[in-house]
Amino acid sequence: MSVAPDSYATLRSAAQYVRAFRGKTFVFKLGGEVLEDPKIRRAVCEQLAVLWSFSIKLVLVHGGGTGIDALCETLHLPVEKVAGRRVTTAQVLDAAKMVLAGSLHTDLLADLRAAGLPVTGISGVDGGLLTARKRQPVQIKDDAGQSQFVDFGLVGDIEKVNPTLLQHLLQGEYVPVITPLSANDKGEVFNTNADTVAAEVAVALNAEKLFFLLKVPGLLDDINRPSSLVPFATLEGIEGLEGSGKVSGGMRPKLTAVKRALAGGVASAHLVSGVMPDAVLTEVFTNQGSGSMVVARADKAKEQAA
């Protein structure tokens, strides 16, 4: 977080946000591309520890796409994605389990613990957190705008979120760290998009904010120009970006998740760099922010400005 010439002015400015968000719940989705670099991962954990020290309740959901891709390539399994979503065969599901509930998950928990956070790792299978059904083959437009019929395989569409376990953990001042695997009542396990999980969890917990930590600065008007950051948007605005073809790849499920969260009552969603130093703290504790804030309507921005 940038320091003003008068450091006490910085503290006074930040204090209004501390008061506004104390006791509120923030849900963070951490992408695999951010978590794979240990130095970046530890820096993110330190920022999250600052938020927790101000009595902001944290729930973390992590992906692992980069690690899953690497393991699939090692095992000579196909890496197939359509509209930013992974096609999951039985073999790819096994690889996802190894990454999402294995080394990446454990390393993240260890770094969060080192930062002083009382973390506990769970999956969507634990405590009946996520009940899902196998996604049926669907007609979908790819990034080129071509419509195709896609069978995503063992991918779960969330039917229900049971937040009881999360509420117990939060009441005990723990920080839940969720890996995005879901199940049905027959014991079948599914790979589920982490962006979707984060949005559904945020809605179920009536969260104040939902964050997506990215490699890029935030939502960009031109994916090839990091300087084209869109600092503020409404649902109407992001629908305009989608309609103009400016949204592609992994940003597509993120914006779908943003729309779901805002429609479900989450006050604001934020797309923020997980790479830039202190970008999360700047987004939370300063007027100018660092990334992109999305709200349902423009008048909602006033409610979010401390």
Nearest Cα to 198, choosing from 183, 186, 213, 187? 213
Query: How many residues does the structure list for the chain?
Result: 306
The reply to whether 2 falls in a domain is no
Q: How far apart are CA 237 and CA 240, in angstroms?
A: 5
The reply to whether 4 falls in a domain is no
The reply to whether 149 falls in a domain is yes
Residue 31 backbone zone (phi > 0: left; psi -120 to 50: alpha; other: beta) = beta
The reply to whether 28 falls in a domain is yes
The reply to whether 63 falls in a domain is yes
Summarised one tens digit per residue, pLDDT across range 100-129 is: 888 889 999 999 999 999 999 999 999 999
Q: How far apart are CA 290 and CA 254, in angstroms?
A: 18
The predicted pLDDT at position 110 comes to 97
Summarised one tens digit per residue, pLDDT across range 151-171 is: 999 999 999 999 999 999 999
Q: What angle do CA 102, 108, 40 make, to 5 degrees?
A: 130
Q: How far apart are CA 66 and CA 246, in angstroms?
A: 23
Give the predicted TM-score (pTM) of the model: 0.91
Q: Are 256 and 83 in contact (CB under 8 A)?
A: no
Is the pLDDT at 7 greater than 70, yes or no? no
Q: Which two tokens stand for residue 254?
A: 């993120």
Summarised one tens digit per residue, pLDDT across range 24-72 is: 999 999 987 789 899 999 999 999 999 999 999 999 999 888 889 999 9
- Which residues are CB-contacts of 18 (< 8 A; sequence separation ≥ 6)? 54, 285
Indicate which CATH number applies to the domain containing 293.
Answer: 3.40.1160.10
Q: How far apart are CA 211 and CA 289, in angstroms?
A: 13
The reply to whether 189 falls in a domain is yes
Tell me the residue range of the domain where 248 lies: 17-304
Number of domains in the chain: 1
The reply to whether 22 falls in a domain is yes
**275 confidence band (pLDDT: 50, 70, 90):** very high
Is the pLDDT at 2 greater than 70, yes or no? no
